[in-house]
Structure 1
């Protein structure tokens, strides 16, 4: 395993002070989580440095086994190590470490268009959006795997159905986020499901959301994707399920109650008909099971109402925390 000591705390503090020293414009931090991207990371840093000359570029190396850290440091990025494996951990660490007005998230695989960065950032600084998504458009069949295209479509639609629709490409790794959004985001994701969690947080708080189409390219030769169509799709689906249970408990438990009541009704109906005809209950175990399912349905409804009250309190607390963070005051404010 190729290792490189973290950029020292003095270096990071100096970098933060450099970000804070630019009084003529927003403090921009480009965050690049990486795992085994030595082939592409220098190119990504170069492209974004040219597109955003005043921004600070942070690379969070997530246990790379190649020379990603060394190449990134040689290219002039501020390199940090995140030993907990997963993109979610790297993003969580970056949001905690860095203080800026605008956070630009991008992957280190050289597939995103650096020239679109200014458009995303302007949406935050000039039009005061908190969440700006870079929706990927491409003209190459190699840019996406067929399974990823279909999976992205289905998962985006699933989130839209439950939480509302304001994006066409939920799983894009290219986003511009305001400081007040980042510092009020309680990240829990470990891996690639972080994009889903970010989107749901934005939809639940009803923050200003925008989306801009950006060109998307295939990976360069000798560069390999870390995505797994089925494994990551399962993790994202599980995250959606978890977020529905947490953010929409009443709907979640009412749906469960309906299933329990329906099953109870199916079991008890023939027993009830037989009782009306003969005056006897011959299948007592089935009748007992039907009764228990009905009681479980009642408990499910009660649980949903209680958790809904708890969620409303949590939502209000998150909103108050979000509103307590001062938004970026640009020239147009």
Structure 2
């Protein structure tokens, strides 16, 4: 943050955008905020989490439950939260369903496992008052020593590096479950993840749709002993990496199709080299392998060319979208309305 009152960090597709605090700052009241807590068997902690937000002045707390087999729903109701039972399965589906229910402009989302601190709510919401549309809480800024196992920490850092490399933006902690966002920006995202990869998809979609996103430091505590995690580091980590790669298809097609093309060329080249070596060394011909090698190289070249063309279309689409958004902002500032036109 600059001392001249200008916001210096805002990722819109990896582009740095400056905004004037004087032009964008507005106070957000607690009545405009809904605290959204997706849960699954969080009876040991959800009551304390809800109470923590009530103490901070946030009375609108919505718990979207995935069919807990313990007393999560009953405890949430006893502590004054509105409880919804999701119609489908998975955290991603729960979040989408709950946001459709919410009728206030700002959403503060976090897990109900007691690892996130309700006192960080103001830190999370403050950037929204300055014009940002999506805020990610960085757990690594203030993490308890025993809050994350070494394997989980290594996996998180590898996933964040992969995200920066594939999608071209640095959000520090894309797997953080502590998010603040405007309901309007959420509606602009194309989300279809049903499971726990919702955080990954949110980060990718923010880059893809040019959502003004920033990262703030938060504290992250160890799960209480009586609370058990639903995640499996190796299996779920692999799923997240695959999701990052798959989502590059529409956000960074040059990387997605280019990597497939390079792999095809490399595989075809290896087979071709083997065929050539067999022919030179032993005088043996491998016609079928030669055809396979040629097909692999040709397919790889085609995929690489398709990636270049797709990247051009995506770049043009983003430029057109930015121009439309700029025109919309200028018209809004000028006080134009449909009636005026």
Matched, 1:35 2:70: no
Asked if the contact 1:105–1:173 (Cα under 8 Å) also holds between the matched residues in 2, the reply is yes
Equivalenced residues, count: 303
Residue 132 of structure 1 corresponds to: 135
Matched, 1:181 2:185: yes
Residue 203 of structure 1 corresponds to: 207
TM-score using structure 1 length? 0.80
Is the partner of 2:218 in helix, strand or coil? strand
1:271, CA displacement in angstroms?
5.2
1:288, CA displacement in angstroms?
1.6
Partner Cα distance (1:229, 1:257) in 2 = 30
Residue 255 of structure 2 corresponds to: 251
1:99, CA displacement in angstroms?
2.6
Q: How does 1:1-333 map to 2 (within 5 A)?
A: 27-53=32-58, 55-125=59-129, 127-136=130-139, 137-138=141-142, 140-269=144-273, 282-305=285-308, 307-308=310-311, 311=314
1:306, CA displacement in angstroms?
5.3
Partner Cα distance (1:29, 1:297) in 2 = 49
Bigger mean CA deviation after superposition, 290-299 or 145-154 = 290-299
- Which deviations, in whole Å up to 9, do the C-alpha atoms of 1:91-113 show, x marking residues without a partner? 11112221322110111011111
Partner Cα distance (2:317, 2:74) in 1 = 43
Is the partner of 2:44 in helix, strand or coil? coil
1:198–1:75 Cα change, 3 Å: same
- Which deviations, in whole Å up to 9, do the C-alpha atoms of 1:212-255 show, x marking residues without a partner? 11111112232211121122212211211111123222222122
Query: Which structure 2 residue ranges, 5 or more long, are not aligned?
Result: 1-26, 333-341
1:264–1:150 Cα change, 3 Å: same
- CA RMSD, Structure 1 to Structure 2 (Å): 3.1
Partner Cα distance (1:255, 1:238) in 2 = 14
Partner Cα distance (1:91, 1:165) in 2 = 24
- Which deviations, in whole Å up to 9, do the C-alpha atoms of 1:20-61 show, x marking residues without a partner? xx99676111100000111111111110111133x5110001
Partner Cα distance (1:270, 1:24) in 2 = 69
1:83, CA displacement in angstroms?
3.7
1:24–1:67 Cα change, 3 Å: closer
Bigger mean CA deviation after superposition, 205-214 or 44-53 = 205-214
Partner Cα distance (2:313, 2:143) in 1 = 47
Partner Cα distance (2:136, 2:82) in 1 = 24
Residue 7 of structure 1 corresponds to: none
Query: Which structure 1 residue ranges, 5 or more long, are not aligned?
Result: 1-21
TM-score using structure 2 length? 0.78
